Amino acid sequence: MFPGVMDVDAAIRTAMESGGFSVPAPNQKIFKEQCAFCFKDPHGPDGLYINLRNYHAFCKQHAVIYANHTNYNLWVQFESTKVAVDEQRSDGEPTTKMTKLTIDAEPKYEFEDKYSVVIHPEYDNKFSNVQGIPEIVDTIKTINESTSAERLALLTSTNNGWDNEIKLITRHANLEQSDEGKVLALSGWNCEVEDCGLSENLWLNLTDGAIRCGRSQFLANGEKTRGNGHMQDYYNATRFPLVVKLGTISSNLESIDVFSYEEDDAVIDPNIVKHLMHFGLDPEKMEKTAKSTLEMELDMNEKWEWARCTEDGAMLEPIFGPGYTGLINTGSSCYMNSVLQALIQVDSFRKRYSDQALQTMLKCPIEMLHNDFNAQFAKVIHAMLSGDYSSEADPTHNHIKPLQFKRVAAGSHPEFSTAKQQDVEEYIRFLFENVSKQNQNEDIDPTNSLRFQTWNRFEDNASGKVRYTEQEEIILRLPLPEGIMKPTEKENHFTVDMTDAVQACFSKQFVEGYKSPITGEPKGANNTLSMKTFPDYLILQASKFAYTMEGVQKKLDVEMEVSETLDLSAFRGHGKREDEELLPKDSAPPADAPPEIPANVRAVAGDLMIMGFQENQSIRAAYFSNGNAEVATNWLMEHLEEPDIDAPFVMPTGTPSARGEIDPNLVDSIVEMGFSRHQATYALKQVPTVAEAVEWLFTNLDSIPEESAAATGTSSDAPEASVTESASKKSFTDGSEKYQLIGIITHMGSRPDSGHYVAHMLKDGKWVLFNDEKVALSQDPPIKLAYIYLYKRVD
């Protein structure tokens, strides 16, 4: 106890001289918005305690622990109280009054900040009058006036954006328009096809100004738009690709509905004003009178899907307690939030990052804590499981904002470090790779309970000889081939039985064009996937996304009849059988033999030669474009001036790192055989055909760099760890092949990198909806619509 002023000053001086104080440097980072070990802030009870040795902030509970651990016992307690301000507008009305266009109105607030000096362990003794110690007075002033280190990190991050539906910029931005001088009225249009005359659902072709009706589309409640598809017919006849929907044109250029038939998607036309003015249509003089295609699709599909997945309209009962903590969306972070809600269902993640949370954070040097992967992961997982942020009695603190974890986990990754929406499957792979790297020297790698090994059996059809390859995986991808999709009464809507999808995953996949290294016959090969190990937890992915022939990713409208219990014992694999003969390890042609130019490269080269390009130019362009005609044409136009463009082309024997864009349809073909998208893409950068890529993978799988290194472009003097080397550092659980469904992640939107994600988890026998910060008991979990399924092994 410190009864007098002199005693207080003396006590503070003693704490300062014992090493508990350092003068803040001019560029000192001062943390004052959140506890270093948890998510408590200065607005809660007791506020935060800022350590005067290193200027990191802690809640009272963790301040005590940290002071005992370090002997840094001098603190400034920072309490910030939110006070509502009922400001008056210039017309005398209070700003909190609802106005005609207001959807919701929140009062404005000010914050009253209070600073006190506290000496460990006497936290109830707060000293505000410290004028006798100028160093402390100046320090408190610096703390008050500084921008918090947390805010500075946010301001310098690359985050920007939200869950918007992403449109592509059309490749026809520089569209050549006709010079016939056609000028259109600003309204009153009709379809120009004889005997049609429709005055709604009209489209303007931006090449020549033709006006035609669109196709009939379903709307909500079973209604349909009127349309005879005459613009589609016009495109088929003319190949004029770019059209705009009349009635959507206005000064709000973002709302103008532009569609590219060639790209088979709604697009952005950066020159839309110029293209419209060519026909006398000035957006500034026009008003929007019709819904865009996207708006109608939302009415028909996504609003239905959104309502099903978020259980919109149902009176859901909120649920509170440990494991029911909501996560605030920090800008298209719903994919990350959904993954975190799934991971706290996994025993190994709870043990590593919750049970060992305090140990992990105390072991980390304080200056590294805010950028340490394991410390930030532990902070989030422990908070989610603590129940401290899920209390019915305190609704203002019923969620956390994992902003720092998102930044640290993403690192310099070109996609995950942004605030763009991401594919949750890709994020799981990226996150697990990071977890494994960061736990190489720890007792627990929590991903081991989800990792598994597969066998790939590759059989040369001509010789009957085989090759077996072991492969590591964390997600079992369920293909959805057309043969198992059953159409429903709804247009382009299908149902699939999960049992059929599982069977398709492990069925034989024919590799067309494979030439036997034994007989030389091009009879193809068969590749079959099977399970070598069965993990404690199994993640399944429904392959709902496919690429069109134009390379545009589209979502399949599919509902899956899900098996909530799975028995995969029929798909446990084996190695080489006694009666099987192995293919030679190196089945490549002799080193002195130049590689053959693949048939698909020659075919595209032939198309280019018909267009007037020379043979060597055409072959070179086709090769460096992976046999993709459109990419090859663009490549050729960009490289025509190069001095060796006409030189005789010889197939390279090394790694063709300069290859162009990879055809996503070729990637999908290889992924369906059990390889990851990263492996398939990497292989297609080495060789141009699916058959060659599969063969290359079987003989070179160990040489593929890890996905996270390839994505970030990181490099060092050390050689890249191979898949085999990485796998040797990991262990795999194995046991019963029977599983029970315990969670799903559902996607709403047309592409995995846009839209919204939510999670539903089975907890204590009840399904729970996790929609960012909203947590409630589920009445009707959308199991049939899920994108990711989480199963747990049962005996």
Known binding-site residue numbers for Zn(2+): 191, 196, 213, 230
Residue found by looking up tokens 């016959």 in the block: 521
Q: How far is CA 66 from CA 14, 43, 73, 323, 358, in A?
A: 19, 21, 9, 26, 10
Q: How far apart are CA 374 and CA 445, in angstroms?
A: 11
DSSP state letter for 280: T
CB 39, CB 401: distance < 8 Å = yes
What are residue 21's phi and psi, to 5 degrees? -140, 140
Residues facing residue 468 across a β-bridge: 457
Report the distance separating Cα 79 and Cα 128, nearest Å. Answer: 12
* Secondary structure of 199-215 as H, E, C letters: CCCEEEECCCCCEEECE
d(CA 261, CA 214): 12
Annotated catalytic residue within 35, 38, 309, 334: 334
Helix then strand then coil, in percent of the chain rounded to 5, is: 30, 20, 50
Q: How far is CA 338 from the centre of its chain?
A: 11
Report how many helices (DSSP H) and strands (DSSP E) the chain contains, helices first.
23, 30
Pick the catalytic residue: 56, 382, 756, 760?
Answer: 756
CA-only gyration radius of the chain, Å = 31
Is 756 annotated as catalytic? yes
CA 623 to chain centre: 31
Q: Assess contact for 533 and 734: CB atoms under 8 A.
A: yes
Cβ contact 32:57 at 8 Å:
yes
Rounded to whole angstroms, how far apart are CA atoms 547 and 783? 24
**Is residue 27 helix, strand or coil?**
coil
Looking at the DSSP assignment, which residues form a beta bridge with residue 326?
Answer: 399
Residue 19 three-state SS: helix
What is the Cα–Cα distance from 48 to 60, expressed in whole angstroms? Answer: 7
For 601-622, b/e burial (b = at least 16 CB within 10 A) is: beebbeebeeeebeebbbbbbb
Q: What are phi and psi of 300, to 5 degrees?
A: -85, -45
- Half-sphere CA count of 299, side-chain side, radius 13 A: 15
CA-to-CA distance for 391 and 395, rounded, in angstroms?
A: 6
Q: Tokens representing 160?
A: 């920007």
Q: Are 591 and 528 in contact (CB under 8 A)?
A: no
What one-letter code names the amino acid at 569?
S
Neighbours of 367 (CB within 10 A): 11
Q: Which long-range contacts (CB under 8 A, 24 or more apart) does 208-211 make?
A: 208/177, 208/178, 208/180, 208/182, 208/238, 208/240, 209/178, 209/180, 209/182, 209/184, 209/278, 209/279, 210/234, 210/240, 211/184, 211/246
Cβ distance 494 to 488 under 8 Å?
yes
Q: Which residues contact 170 (CB under 8 A, 6 or more apart)?
A: 242, 258, 260, 263, 267, 268, 269
Q: Which residues participate in catalysis according to the annotation? A: 334, 756
